[in-house]
Amino acid sequence: MNSLFDAETLRAEFPILGETAYGKPLVYLDNAATTQKPRAVIDALAAYYLHDNSNVHRGAHCLAERATAAFETARDDVAALLNASREEIIWTRGTTEAINLVAQSYGGSTLKPGDEVVISSLEHHANIVPWQQVCARTGATLRVIPLKAEHNGELDLATLDTLINERTRIVAVVHVSNALGIINPVQDIIARARTVGATVLVDGAQAVSHFPVDVQALDCDFYTFSAHKLFGPTGVGVLYGRRALLEAMPPYQTGGEMIEKVTFETSTWNQLPYKFEAGTPHIGGVVAFGAAVRWFRAQDRTAMAAHEADLLAYATQQARAFPGLKIIGDAPNKVAVLSFLLEGAHPNDVGTLLDQQGVAVRTGHHCTMPLMDALGIPGTVRAAFAPYNTRDDVDRLFAALEKVRRFL
């Protein structure tokens, strides 16, 4: 157990963790879907609407000035988190919109018949469907990095030399599998892509809350994630893009802040990052997300990571000893996600019975239908841990699973 991390003190910062479910104390293990929010984030969102509510950038009054300052400070916070420049940080509604932006703007303007886009078998639908659509529109071909033959959820990197070749224009891969928690060797994939001059997007939605991400060290061209998976609000996402690429890309949407000048004959675009931020943004959400990033960066992130690793090891140990339970994605390099099946039980039934005991998990295909097809299963039960979870939460999970096993 990690004795240097005080999860109980951290839990006190998250009001919702004091809730009950069906009369039982809540055990929240659905953190890969969305994390809960500390009071600092909730207070920041409330303070914006109570004291600073205004549109940003163009208002000639003090509320607009305060709102704009908070909005742009949040951009600086995210830039520092990723080791990027502020002009390379684009606000979106989430990871999904960020990937669509790159697929439609960069992919749609550069791909042509004969070109290839490479993704992996571990991708979320949000990093599959946009590339399918742009390939269909441009005549490019979508290729997929397969899983290893042993089906432990790891990618077969032996295929990279043939899959990523002189026809490859874009490689789009997930940093951490949302379904299995497996950490992909993205640096190896990026290094291979560099040898053929391919552009690389990394879906970091499940990564940024678990370990440091440095886009300069990764050498990726685009990196995406969502605020709500990093203790922030829903409806806010981040696209990091290399400045030279963003400068060359056409706008994804038009109108509002992304405009420099408009006549009835033509229009010109604003400078970065505003070129890709059409319309009134989710200002309160961005301000609150800035508070989330500052809160997160103020934590002992090394101790947090050690605590999560302890939770995963503790849960995995119990899972391996549990009768009839099969871990899905039992690979060594993972974040704190335990995905599993219970013999003779449908995942949805298991999730419903756990919920009635106050244990919140995620069930189903986790927006990774092709991965589930490759594994030959309909879906899994997924318990995803965060720093505010404890070993007691793990014990509650397995005590509840024992009741489920007896019932079913």
- Out of 62, 135, 220, 367, the active site residue is 367
Q: Which residues contact 19 (CB under 8 A, 6 or more apart)?
A: 26
Q: Which residues contact 16 (CB under 8 A, 6 or more apart)?
A: 26, 28, 36, 37
Q: In the annotation, is 220 catalytic?
A: no
Burial of 344 (0-12, 13-18, 19+ CB in 10 A): exposed
Of the candidates 79, 77, 3, 65, the residue with the CA atom closest to the CA atom of residue 40 = 77
Of the candidates 164, 160, 161, 170, the residue with the CA atom closest to the CA atom of residue 134 = 170
CA distance 353 to 357: 7
Dump strand ranges (E) for 71-121: 89-92, 116-120
CB 312 within 8 A of CB 331: no
Q: Ramachandran region of residue 112, left (φ > 0), alpha (ψ -120 to 50) or beta?
A: beta
Strands 337-342 and 259-262: unpaired
Catalytic residues, by residue number, are 367
